Structure 1
Amino acid sequence: MSRSVPQDPPAPDNDGLPEEAGGLRKIIHVDMDAFFASVEQRDNPHLRGKPVAVGGSSGRGVVAAASYEARRFGVRSAMPSVTAKRLCPDLVFVKSRFDAYREASRQIRAVFEHHTPLVEPLSLDEAYLDVTEDRLGIGSATRIAELIRQEIPAKTRLTASAGVSYNKFLAKLASDQNKPDGLCVIRPGEGADFVATLPIRRFHGVGPKAEEKMKRLGIETGADLAARDIAFLRTHFGSFADYLFRAARGIDLRPVRPHRIRKSVGGERTFSQDIGGAGALRDTLEDIIDIVWERIERAEARGRTVTLKLKYNDFSIITRAKSIPQRPHSSKGGEWIEDKARFARLARELLEEALPLPLPIRLMGLTLSNLDRGKADEPPRDEAQLSLL
Structure 2
Amino acid sequence: MNGRKIVHVDMDAFYASVEQRDSPELRGKPVVVAWRGKRSVVCAASYEARHFGVRSAMVATHAERLCPEAVFVPPDFTRYRAVSRAVREIFLRHTDLIEPLSLDEAYLDVTENKTGLATATKVASTIRQQIREELSLTASAGVAPNKFLSKIASDWRKPNGLFVIQPAEVASFLTPLPVGRIPGVGKVTEEKLVRLGMRTVGELRTLPLNELQRMFGRYGQRLYELARGIDENPVVPNRPTKSISAEDTFEQDVLLAETEPMIRRLAEKTWLASRKESRIARTVVLKLKTAEFRVMTRSQTAPEPPASQEELTQIALSLLQKVGTDPGQRFRLAGVGLGNFRDPGESAEPSLFPL
The bucket for the TM-score relative to the shorter chain is over 0.9
- Counting aligned pairs with the same residue, the percent is 47
- Aligned-partner Cα distance in 2 for 1:287–1:346: 14
Aligned to 1:369: 339
The alpha carbon displacement at 1:59 in A equals 1.1
Query: Residues of 2 paired with 1:69 and 1:165: CA distance?
Result: 30
Range with greater deviation from structure 2 (109-118 or 201-210): 201-210
Match of 1:305 in 2: 283
**Residues 267-293 of structure 1 deviation map (CA, whole Å, 9 limit, x = unaligned):** 2223343333523x1000010011100
Contact kept? 2:90, 2:130, Cα under 8 Å? yes
Corresponding position of 1:31: 10
Alpha-carbon deviation of 1:192?
2.2
SS in 1 for 2:168: coil
The answer to whether the 8 A contact 2:280-2:344 is kept is no
After superposition, residues 13-28 of structure 1 pair within 5 angstroms as: 23-28=2-7
Distance 1:240 1:273 in 2: 28
CA distance in 2, matches of 1:237, 1:88: 40
**How large is the Cα RMSD of the aligned pairs?**
1.8
Encode CA deviations 1:314-346: one digit per residue, 9 max, x unaligned: 221111111113xxxxxxxxx333432332221
Matches within 5 A, 1:1-389: 23-276=2-255, 278-279=257-258, 281-325=259-303, 335-354=304-323, 359-373=329-343
Q: Look up the SS of the partner of 1:322 in the other structure.
A: strand
The DSSP-based 3-state class of the residue aligned with 1:30 is strand
TM-score normalised according to structure 1 size: 0.84
Distance in 2, matches of 1:248 and 1:117, equals 30
In the TM superposition, residue 355 of structure 1 has moved relative to its aligned partner by 5.9
Whole-angstrom CA distance in 1 between matches of 2:345 and 2:124:
28
Which one scores higher on RCO, CA 8 angstroms, separation ≥ 6? 1
* Displacement after TM superposition at 1:48 (Å): 1.2
Q: Give unpaired runs (5+ residues) of structure 1.
A: 1-21, 326-334, 377-389
Following superposition, the deviation at residue 374 of structure 1 comes to 5.3
The 2-side partners of 1:355 and 1:287 are apart by 22
Between the aligned partners of 1:86 and 1:201, the Cα distance in structure 2 is 29
Once the two structures are TM-superposed, the CA of residue 206 in structure 1 deviates from its matched residue by 2.0
Does the C-alpha gap of structure 1 residues 197 and 361 become closer, same or farther in structure 2, counting only changes over 3 Å? same
What is the rounded CA distance, in whole Å, between the counterparts of 2:25 and 2:252 in structure 1?
A: 41
Shift of 1:39: 0.8
Of the structure 1 ranges 27-36 and 295-304, higher mean CA displacement relative to structure 2 is found in: 295-304
2: CA distance between counterparts of 1:223 and 1:23?
A: 22
> Cα distance 1:256–1:274, how it changes in 2: closer, same or farther (>3 A)?
same
Question: Cα gap change, 1:24/1:274 in structure 2, threshold over 3 Å: closer, same or farther?
Answer: farther
* Alpha-carbon distance, 1:73 to partner: 1.6
Q: For this pair of structures, how many residues does the alignment match?
A: 345
Alpha-carbon spacing, 1:270–1:244, altered in 2? closer, same or farther (3 Å): farther
Residue 186 of structure 2 aligns to which amino acid in structure 1? G
**Which amino acid in structure 2 is aligned with residue 316 of structure 1?**
R
Q: Distance in 1 between matches of 2:133 and 2:345?
A: 29
The Cα offsets for residues 14-47 of structure 1, whole Å up to 9 and x where unpaired, read as xxxxxxxx52201000000000111111111221
Q: CA deviation at 1:157?
A: 0.8
